């Protein structure tokens, strides 16, 4: 799928730049990168984070919580609201799908009944969540978590199509940390 190839290529380019900056000893501070493997081994892909540190020196830092911390915060919030059956929907992007997957594993570990993640489908340059919303409704989820970029039109779609039984919509996870 062309879109997936572009996504992987973009991430590979970012990692290549990160490697070069590390080799040059330049400090890198990200205001938005949340991938777990950038700063820790647990929950990361094979070889991370060492492969981004060819010199062995840490030159990368972030100022936002990593995905695993966001997922833990989301699950804590869902448990506090009394939600036990959660439908997960994501936008299919690296960030959104990755976060929804982490929420699923953390939620299952802490006793939530997880349905999904169900991924929005791309057609004619736009993302459609119709099938994902139907899947969440069929699962009779008590609440919904959306993993993704809010500009992908999900909020308006879910507001128009959600069943009254959906009790909570959590998007994005970063807002939870301020609440």
Note the pLDDT of residue 78.
92
Chain CA centroid to CA 156, Å: 19
What is the pTM for the complete model shown?
A: 0.75
Give strand pairing partners of 92: none
Task: Please check the confidence at residue 14 and state whether its pLDDT lies above 70.
Answer: no
6 confidence band (pLDDT: 50, 70, 90): very low
Task: Please check the confidence at residue 59 and state whether its pLDDT lies above 70.
Answer: yes
130 confidence band (pLDDT: 50, 70, 90): confident
Give the tens place of pLDDT for each residue, 25-46.
898 888 888 888 888 888 888 9
CA distance 119 to 133: 10
DSSP string computed for 114-128: EEEEEEPEEETTEEE
């Amino acid at each position: 799928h062309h879109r997936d190839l572009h996504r992987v290529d973009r991430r590979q380019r970012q990692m290549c730049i990160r490697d070069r900056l590390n080799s040059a000893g330049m400090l890198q501070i990200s205001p938005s990168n949340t991938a777990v493997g950038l700063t820790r081994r647990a929950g990361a892909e094979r070889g991370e984070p060492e492969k981004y540190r060819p010199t062995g020196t840490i030159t990368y830092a972030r100022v936002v919580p990593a995905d695993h911390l966001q997922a833990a915060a989301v699950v804590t919030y869902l448990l506090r609201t009394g939600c036990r059956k959660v439908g997960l929907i994501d936008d299919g992007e690296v960030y959104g799908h990755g976060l929804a997957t982490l929420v699923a594993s953390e939620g299952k570990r802490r006793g939530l009944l997880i349905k999904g993640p169900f991924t929005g489908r791309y057609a004619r340059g736009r993302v459609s969540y119709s099938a994902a919303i139907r899947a969440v409704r069929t699962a009779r989820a008590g609440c919904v978590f959306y993993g993704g970029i809010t500009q992908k039109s999900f909020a308006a779609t879910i507001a128009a199509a959600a069943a009254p039984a959906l009790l909570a919509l959590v998007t994005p996870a970063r807002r939870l940390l301020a609440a």
